[in-house]
Structure 1
């Protein structure tokens, strides 16, 4: 699963006058790194539409903005819930569609792969057509293409549509962060952004909880997992159409210009209407720039690998937990689903701590005259880098059969908290440190995370059966321990590395 904010938080306040996004930092390669566009806009032209207070999404009532954030976040949660709920349909799939367990695991891997690829296309489309049309069309398609996975005629059809639904659901991992930053200014955006950011990571935890307990898949048909998903998707579509306004200022101005042309004069226009965009070039930019960043910037590569490793471990748990709790401790499917509560509790604790981190970042901003360096964002990742391996080591050494089953669940709590802290720190650092190409930096992170999340479940069962529950979990803990020094190192030398980078903001 993946989160890819199309715009940086700090740039959205600057498009209020003309609907254009100015360059905040000199672009190291202007002819390549800036999204291709042409055309000029005279902001003094009386027929050029500008943003009035009544048009500004930041001026909406607080309850209206929070309602939109909650709907967007629950839509994102539903999209990632769909990725993990499939883990509790594998036995039924293998029986009804006459296949083997190893093939059914692909239902998770292909869906997550779609979540990772989709943002490369959804981001550019949202910059031309706005947020809402992407939300609504993608979610209608998400709903429509889920039907073949609920009632598949064969395994090939099921797997193909799992990949397609992943692509459709990815809109909320690529565009939604931009909507949140459209609605709130820089001083108030941290908490709503934290609510949105955590939603796609709670989704994979909610999947096993509902799939294992509420659906009671031992006693009902596995298709009920997807039937309830369809009901949830239908409700989200209604909420998206009724509760989420358009927030992308260039498109708001385009709608305003159309109304003025009908009511007053054909001379009115919006800045985005006179800019010449090549959708093909924008998509190609969105595709190749993230990989250039991974190949040529080691700091971005290491941070992306770190977050990818954690998401891979999270998705690996969907295969590892049944081994730990069913084979070792004798749980049934319902109880195994509830075992994911520990990770969920850890993530909720991380979200509850957001006011403290807001205070920390405000204090750092005051120390730096209101302009703290991007490395300040790594403070939260430092705490997460310590908590995540501690949680995994606790889980590893409490998976013995003679140890009470509550041990690994308790260990999963600091792992869940640490994972959220790491994701929050890495995401905000990438957005601020690589501001000239922030969307591409997040797309690179999304692509790598999705790759790890797709691959890890495929070898989880073999690894746990070969190394044992203790050895396999300890191996994962050791890998996260090796990565834990990264936020401490980059906090010290990040400024120097950015100064020498061809992509980062110096």
Structure 2
């Protein structure tokens, strides 16, 4: 009888392993269930059509909410008579509240993609964003603007946080670098398209249609999000484990990286740790300061640039002056070129058997810092009243290096934080995103006070001088970056843990 029992047990064991294999999984030597390397259900093995559809919807949604973020300055002027708001209060309501909501959302929403995966946060974000854009449009009370812009900003933080995770889920290192460049360029271009979008819709219809149209476009995004698939591997694996359990497969042990800790631990990771890193880490403080001011330049221009072009003697109207923002976009596209240099430098290092350091991939920043200073100074001293007879194309060309610099600084410095802090990179980036959103929200208020009081030339010179100081930063990173990382308990512990894992850095291989 014993051999028969053994034979039955063997058949049952083989049947269970067959069920595991059918779902694209495997059982390791320790008995735990994990993905089979060739599983077609893993997001990195999805078809090109599936990945293309999902990423197109995701990147477009991120681009569009960024467009809506910079409509605030234009719309605030048009809405002042309706609500009898002063200029400062109107800017606060339409611009600062959006960025304030985005800053808070950037701190509080990262755990959402761990708890609920990718698809649900996208659906909720697009639904909430569209709903509150509609509220701004139809409710004739300033409170609707204050609350609506805050909540819409909060919801806009979700794609900013989750898109990076979606790219990580679906693409390996070699492919991912170009997706991240495209995503980053799209976000920066969205900042520049917002003033044009707001100005022309306001002129053709009225300011409420800026948010009517936003609600309609976001509703289309919501419908498209219904068609994307969940891409977080741990979420998909959890469902497959549940299927195996229902089939009667035993010993379903698996590693869940999304296991939710207690509330206190989560609060520490989400709120306390980013603040602690920002306050105690010189690298993070420097990167955050530069990135926030650079990114905020576009918001500064949303308030000052239309007035500058209207002061020229060539007949720019309040609407047509917004077209000046298109001059940033060729510069943004130039950011694809430094990636070729990065890949070449990384390949040469790997060919020599050397470990890639975070400082090896900031060559673009070393170009972007002086480009920002030069572009701002060039623009400042080729506009009225300093020069009144210069063709409008001359200052417009100065915006090309500014667009390149803003996009390149955002890309290289966020990547530098990821490479330098590895294990703590999410916390480091949360602090950066929080400060960047707040600074961006304050920039139109600063421009509204500074440019009329000092004049466009003096105010612009002050801004260009700040950018000039940032030219020292690449030298600081190249000369002292490694030393600062070695002295940092966070960066040092993160690197040691990473090296013990024996897994090469994907970002470095990209």
TM (normalized to structure 1)?
0.86
- Give the 5 Å matches for 1:90-105: 90-105=76-91
* Aligned twin of 2:23: none
C-alpha change, 1:57 and 1:153, in structure 2 (3 Å) is same
Given the alignment, which residue of 349, 364, 381 partners 2:334?
A: 349
CA offsets 1:41-76 (integer angstroms, 9 cap, x no match):
x95465735456122111122343233222211111
Deviates further, 217-226 or 372-381: 217-226
Given the alignment, which residue of 300, 303, 322 partners 1:316?
A: 300
1:367: Cα distance to partner? 5.1
Given the alignment, which residue of 105, 117, 122 partners 1:135?
A: 122
CA distance in 2, matches of 1:171, 1:393: 36
CA distance in 1, matches of 2:51, 2:354: 26
CA distance in 1, matches of 2:317, 2:168: 43
User: Are residues 1:57 and 2:43 paired?
Assistant: yes
- Aligned Cα root-mean-square deviation (Å): 2.2
Given the alignment, which residue of 68, 76, 96 partners 1:82?
A: 68
Given the alignment, which residue of 155, 170, 177 partners 2:142?
A: 155
Question: SS at 1:55's partner residue?
Answer: coil
User: Are residues 1:284 and 2:268 paired?
Assistant: yes
Question: SS at 1:48's partner residue?
Answer: strand
Higher helix proportion: 2
Question: SS at 1:245's partner residue?
Answer: coil
CA offsets 1:126-176 (integer angstroms, 9 cap, x no match):
112211111111211111121111123211221111001100111011121
* Aligned twin of 1:466: 453
Question: SS at 2:174's partner residue?
Answer: coil
* Aligned twin of 1:251: 235
Deviates further, 322-331 or 447-456: 322-331
User: Are residues 1:72 and 2:58 paired?
Assistant: yes
* Aligned twin of 1:326: 310
* Aligned twin of 1:451: 438
Alpha carbons 2:65, 2:156 under 8 Å: kept: yes
Alpha carbons 1:194, 1:354 under 8 Å: kept: no
* Aligned twin of 2:425: 438
Alpha carbons 1:387, 1:414 under 8 Å: kept: yes
C-alpha change, 1:240 and 1:371, in structure 2 (3 Å) is farther
Gapped regions of structure 1 (runs ≥ 5): 1-41
Question: SS at 1:309's partner residue?
Answer: helix
Alpha carbons 2:375, 2:400 under 8 Å: kept: yes
Question: SS at 2:173's partner residue?
Answer: coil
* Aligned twin of 1:338: 323
Gapped regions of structure 2 (runs ≥ 5): 1-26, 496-510
1:451: Cα distance to partner? 1.5
CA distance in 1, matches of 2:248, 2:40: 19
Alpha carbons 1:364, 1:372 under 8 Å: kept: no
* Aligned twin of 1:416: 403
1:86: Cα distance to partner? 2.3
- Give the 5 Å matches for 1:29-68: 44=29, 46=31, 48-51=33-36, 53-68=39-54
Alpha carbons 1:392, 1:412 under 8 Å: kept: yes
C-alpha change, 1:269 and 1:246, in structure 2 (3 Å) is farther
CA distance in 2, matches of 1:198, 1:147: 28
Deviates further, 80-89 or 423-432: 80-89
User: Are residues 1:261 and 2:217 paired?
Assistant: no
CA offsets 1:396-432 (integer angstroms, 9 cap, x no match):
0111232222222111110001111111110110001
Question: SS at 2:226's partner residue?
Answer: helix
- Give the 5 Å matches for 1:202-241: 202-213=189-200, 215=201, 217-241=202-226
Larger-Rg structure: 2
C-alpha change, 1:231 and 1:54, in structure 2 (3 Å) is same
CA distance in 2, matches of 1:397, 1:162: 35
Given the alignment, which residue of 292, 296, 304 partners 2:280?
A: 296
CA distance in 1, matches of 2:460, 2:301: 10
User: Are residues 1:385 and 2:369 paired?
Assistant: yes
Alpha carbons 2:230, 2:236 under 8 Å: kept: yes
CA distance in 1, matches of 2:244, 2:383: 67
State the number of aligned residues: 462
C-alpha change, 1:177 and 1:357, in structure 2 (3 Å) is farther
C-alpha change, 1:279 and 1:178, in structure 2 (3 Å) is farther
C-alpha change, 1:368 and 1:495, in structure 2 (3 Å) is farther
Alpha carbons 1:120, 1:283 under 8 Å: kept: no
Alpha carbons 1:69, 1:196 under 8 Å: kept: no
CA distance in 2, matches of 1:156, 1:275: 39
Deviates further, 147-156 or 301-310: 147-156
Deviates further, 265-274 or 416-425: 265-274
Given the alignment, which residue of 464, 469, 486 partners 1:477?
A: 464
CA distance in 1, matches of 2:339, 2:489: 35
Alpha carbons 1:124, 1:279 under 8 Å: kept: no
Question: SS at 1:466's partner residue?
Answer: helix
Question: SS at 1:404's partner residue?
Answer: coil
1:355: Cα distance to partner? 5.1
C-alpha change, 1:274 and 1:86, in structure 2 (3 Å) is closer
User: Are residues 1:490 and 2:477 paired?
Assistant: yes
